[in-house]
Amino acid sequence: MRTSAGSRFGSGRVWAGLLASVLLGGCTSSGDGTEDPGPPTSGPPDRRGFVIRFEEPAVADRDGAAFLRERKVMETVTATLDAFVRMDRQVTVVGRSCAGEGSAYDPDRLRIDVCYDEVAEERGLFERAGRGRADDDVAAVLVETLYHEAGHALVDVVRPTLTDRAEEDAADRFAALMLLRQGPDGERLLRSAAEEYRLAAAEGDPAAGGADEHSPDLVRAANHVCFLYGSAPERNLDLANSPLLSPARAAGCAAEWTHVRDAWTADLAPVLR
């Protein structure tokens, strides 16, 4: 779920966005992403980078698990990450029933949990806000969540000295970076993610008060809105007048986003492909 519910590196209640291609759904590979594409031609297989695995869902999470696979959330995000950065280690991304613990990154096991139960939680949040079945919003939130958790894994590699709150903010910014570098498709996903934080705050999510290591939900929503507007003002002009942004901040979002993007890019330089 969006609130971290005590997990050290929980995403907070995360949101995510999916690529348009992912949003189309379609058949899903039953593989766990770790298989070799064919007989090795030389040497051992490369086990670095992001690999995925699916656990059997709890009965209550079967629909959520099916949705996650149908939308290829884990497949698409990990493929995008592996094309972007060259990890010096293997990070396993596991789809599983989390019983409400929330998606999280475990730095000791180098593992990201993506929780089937969050599908129903996010769907409920959007539906209560009158957004219909909201499949695309839900998928977007899951994508952004996974990028946030991957941001923790990247922080471990390139900025291991960050404090908890700074790391959470950096993970949010990494998610924004990964989505905004995809252009309009990624912007749509980040919009859903920002809206999810706003809705969660409106519902009185405990994390909205900044009770855990994450910034409050409204702050996280405002940051993403600012990044969206700052990265492409012409496409996101409506956000200039968002109640989440003061006029003064809105005027500085282009510079703010440039700084955020350049800072993360500089940190990633040693691992960029």
Helix and strand numbers (H, E) in the chain are 10, 4
In the complex with Zn ion, which residue's Cβ is closer, 140 or 171?
A: 171
The total of other beta-carbon atoms located within 10 Å of residue 93's CB is 27
Under 8 Å between Cβ of 240 and 57: no
Q: Burial letters for 189-227: b for 16+ Cβ neighbours within 10 Å, e otherwise?
A: bbbbbbbbbbbbbeeebebbeeebbbbbbbbbbbbbbbb
Q: How far is the CB of 194 from Zn ion (least distance, A)?
A: 16
Q: How far is the CB of 237 from Zn ion (least distance, A)?
A: 30
Q: How far is the CB of 50 from Zn ion (least distance, A)?
A: 16
Q: Which stretch binds Zn ion (CB under 5 A): 51-59, 83-91, 169-177, 203-211?
A: 169-177
Helix (H) or strand (E) holding 218, with range, is helix 217-231
Token pair of 85 as six digits: 């950065």
Token pair of 251 as six digits: 């005027």
Q: How far is the CB of 251 from Zn ion (least distance, A)?
A: 29
Q: How far is the CB of 179 from Zn ion (least distance, A)?
A: 16
d(CA 212, CA 165): 9
In the complex with Zn ion, which residue's Cβ is closer, 136 or 217?
A: 217
Q: How far is the CB of 173 from Zn ion (least distance, A)?
A: 11
Distances (CA, A) of 168 to 139, 179, 259: 21, 17, 17
Binding mask 64-83 for Zn ion (x = CB under 5 A): --------------------
Q: Helix, strand, or coil here: 53?
A: strand
Phi, psi (degrees; rounded to nearest 5) at 40: -65, 140
Within 129-168, the residues that bind Zn ion by CB under 5 A are: 168
Q: Considering just the CA atoms, what is the radius of gyration of the chain in Å? A: 18
Binding mask 170-199 for Zn ion (x = CB under 5 A): -x----------------------------
- Total residues in contact with Zn ion, by rule CB under 5 A: 3
Q: How far is the CB of 135 from Zn ion (least distance, A)?
A: 24
Q: How far is the CB of 31 from Zn ion (least distance, A)?
A: 28
Distances (CA, A) of 71 to 39, 55, 63, 142, 199: 29, 17, 12, 10, 23
In the complex with Zn ion, which residue's Cβ is closer, 1 or 245?
A: 1
In the complex with Zn ion, which residue's Cβ is closer, 7 or 76?
A: 7
Under 8 Å between Cβ of 236 and 246: no
In the complex with Zn ion, which residue's Cβ is closer, 115 or 239?
A: 115
Binding mask 8-37 for Zn ion (x = CB under 5 A): ---x--------------------------
In the complex with Zn ion, which residue's Cβ is closer, 119 or 171?
A: 171
| List of residues contacting Zn ion (CB under 5 A) | 11, 168, 171
